[in-house]
Amino acid sequence: MKLHIHRVELPLRYQFTIARGTMRVQNSLIVELEEDGVRGFGESTTHSYYNVTQESLTASMEKCRSTIEHGQFQNPAELWTALQPLLQDDMFALAAIDAAAYDLFGKTAERFTFDLLGLQWRRIPESSYTIGIDTISRMIEKLQERLDWTIFKIKLGTNEDVEIVRQLRQQTDATFRVDANCGWSVEETIENSRSLRELGVEFIEQPLPASASVHEHRKVFENSALPIIADESCLTEADVEKCHGLFHGINVKLSKCGGITPGHRMLLKARKLGMKTMLGCMVESSVGISAAAQLLPLLDYADIDGAELLAADIASGATVVNGSVILPGRFGNGVALHDPMEHACLAGQ
Give the model's pLDDT for residue 346. 44
Domain range for residue 234? 129-335
* CA dist., res. 156 & res. 301, Å (int): 19
139 and 15 both lie in a single domain = no
- Mean pLDDT per 10-residue segment, the chain (349 residues): 97 84 92 98 94 96 98 97 96 98 99 98 97 95 97 96 98 98 96 98 98 98 99 96 98 98 99 98 97 99 96 96 96 91 47
219 and 185 both lie in a single domain = yes
Report if residue 324 sits inside a domain. yes
**pTM given for the model:** 0.94
* CA dist., res. 102 & res. 188, Å (int): 42
231 assigned to a ligand binding site = yes
* CA dist., res. 247 & res. 240, Å (int): 10
317 and 184 both lie in a single domain = yes
137 and 271 both lie in a single domain = yes
102 and 155 both lie in a single domain = no
Report if residue 115 sits inside a domain. no
* CB proximity list for 233: less than 8 A, separation 6 or greater: 206, 208, 210, 217, 239, 242, 243, 246, 247
Neighbours of 66 (CB within 10 A): 11
- Cβ contact 308:335 at 8 Å: no
293 and 186 both lie in a single domain = yes
The CATH number that applies at residue 36 is 3.30.390.10
215 and 230 both lie in a single domain = yes
103 assigned to a ligand binding site = no
Nearest partner of 197 among 178, 183, 216, 171, judged by Cα: 178
Helices of type H across the chain: 54-63, 65-70, 76-83, 91-109, 113-116, 136-144, 161-169, 186-198, 214-223, 237-243, 254-257, 260-272, 286-293, 341-346
Report if residue 234 sits inside a domain. yes
* CA dist., res. 60 & res. 153, Å (int): 33
83 and 150 both lie in a single domain = no
Using DSSP's 3-state secondary structure scheme, residue 255 falls into: helix
105 and 186 both lie in a single domain = no
Catalytic residues: 155, 253
99 and 9 both lie in a single domain = yes
The CATH number that applies at residue 154 is 3.20.20.120
Give the model's pLDDT for residue 349. 45
**Packing angle, helices 161-169 and 186-198, rounded to 10:** 10
Total of domains in the chain: 2
Report if residue 124 sits inside a domain. no
| Strands 315-316 and 336-337, sheet pairing | antiparallel
Report if residue 103 sits inside a domain. yes
* CA dist., res. 92 & res. 76, Å (int): 16
Report if residue 121 sits inside a domain. no
Neighbours of 147 (CB within 10 A): 12
89 and 171 both lie in a single domain = no
